[in-house]
Amino acid sequence: MTAHRSLLTNYHVFHFEGFDWNASEKTLECHYALDDEKFTERVRFDFEFADTVDHAALDAALFGYFVMAGISYYKAGLPQTITFAEDLSILTEDQAQFFTETYYHGLGELFYTNKITPFRPSFPDLATSQSRDLAISHPLKDTLIVPLGGGKDSLTSVQLLQDAGLDFQTWTVGDYPGLIPSLKEIHGNQWSKNHLKIKRTISPHLIALNARGAINGHVPISSIWAFLSVITAVLTNQKYVAFSNESSANEPTMVLDGEAINHQYSKTLEFEKNFCHYVRTYIHPELEYFSLLRPLTELRIAELFAGKAWDRFADKFSSCNRNFTVHKDPLDKGGARGSLYWCGECSKCAFVFLILSPFIPPAELLKVFGKNMFSDPQIDETWQELLGLTTHKPFECVGTVNEVKQAFSLAAKYYPEVSQWESHLDLPDDFDYTALSEHCIPEEIAQRVSSM
């Protein structure tokens, strides 16, 4: 891969200056420097805190977020040297390894798309694997926090948990009016009390720097959300954080020079295991971070969503990422929308249409998406990427190549248009999209949900 950097992004040192927690204002400010460029990120936790909070666990969780969120600013210059202010906690060798690997793999897509030779950032450490003594000052409640993205995956988790009779609160980073219909369906009239919100404000100076040509691109946002979810769990004294990442996320988007590049690295089982170790070792030994859907493929989740949750959420869900950015284009003339929608053009829309097509009657599916995406020739290149016929799959959260082939084969019964891909739908004899994969779900949760 050819290295390439402009003079503007020829920086030397990324410095973690410090962070400030204001409990009364419910805000966290994180301060960074890229040589002489200064950044301040602000996070507001817009929910009620527990009467008693484990402050040692909170400090450790805030510190972890501070280091992880730094990736948004570090990537603007990608300097070789990383330093910390003298009054900050010092990383152990174990912690430094966690952040080194998460930064490296999480920036794989950015390295590729910007034609930069990949390298592992070097975090300073104590050169020891020691961990602090995690004395538990407050026991955690046996309740769950469920991050909600508005798509089929998190809503399938919600349905499974409700069917199992488990108590949970939903959670988002950002305040999206389009999610309110789903929240009302989930929580009823008490939705505002049972939904936890966080507002993250990126430093305006980073946005200005990007406009001037700084390195920009994908960061492992789910790893940043992971630390925010754990902070939320500590602030509300809750034991479980249940994301909705699936086994399909483990398949790389592409392999280059023998190295996997995965748009979804921070949704993989590898990251989940590493993060669980970090939380139990450095934040709280009883706090459980896991993915409820980890044993399942995307195609199996689509089948479950169709059978269990479609009637409730068909007109309320969307996985199109244009819902979570501000647009000024023909689809969205006013900027941020007040309701969820499907653009019908992106690879995420195409993939979700595909995997739902074997399980939802065509008339119902076309009503939701507004068109038959199989008959749109502008989507053909996306189908080729999803089928593994190009250099890489879409840089998006999509399923495996084998799941895509299986979905096309199953959809042929209802959509004759897919016949053009028939010669590309060969599958291994042992492929079974309903087979369960390895997971980290706590046994007490797995037993309640498995029967659902």
Instruction: Give yes or no: residues 117 and 42 share one domain.
Output: yes
**What was the pLDDT predicted at 151?**
94
Residues 283 and 146 in one domain: yes
247 and 379 in a single domain? The answer is: no
Does 257 fall in a domain? Answer: yes
Residues 169 and 113 in one domain: yes
Contact 444, 156 (CB under 8 A): no
Assigned token pair, 281: 């070792």
**pTM of the model as a whole:** 0.93
Clarify whether residues 283 and 385 are in a common domain: no
Question: Is residue 178 domain-shared with residue 50, that is, in the same domain?
Answer: yes
Say whether both 273 and 314 belong to one domain. Answer: no
Domain boundary at 274, 291, 308, which? Answer: 291
> Mean pLDDT for each 10-residue chunk of the chain (452 residues)?
46 96 98 97 97 94 98 96 91 95 97 94 76 70 95 97 96 92 95 96 96 94 98 98 97 92 97 97 96 98 98 94 54 46 92 98 96 95 96 95 98 95 95 96 94 73
291, 309, 325 - which closes a domain: 291
Are residues 266 and 403 both part of a single domain?
A: no
Question: Does the residue 429 lie in any domain?
Answer: no
Give residue 8's pLDDT. 41
Q: Is residue 437 part of a domain?
A: no
Nearest to 292 by CA among 249, 248, 243: 243
- 180 part of a folded domain: yes
445 within a domain of the structure (yes/no): no
Check whether residue 312 and residue 214 sit in a common domain.
no
What's the domain range around 343?
298-424
Specify whether 251 is located in the same domain as 394.
no
pLDDT of residue 125: 85
Q: Is residue 371 part of a domain?
A: yes
Q: What domain count does the chain have?
A: 2
Taking alpha carbons only, the member of 336, 350, 411 closest to residue 178 is 336
Structure tokens given for 131:
């961990």
Residues 246 and 381 in one domain: no
Inside any domain, residue 436? no
The verdict on residue 452 lying in a domain is no
Single out the residue in 291, 315, 335 at which a domain terminates.
Answer: 291
What pLDDT score was predicted for residue 340? 73
Shared domain check, 223 and 103: yes
Cα–Cα distance, 359 to 305 (Å, whole number): 9
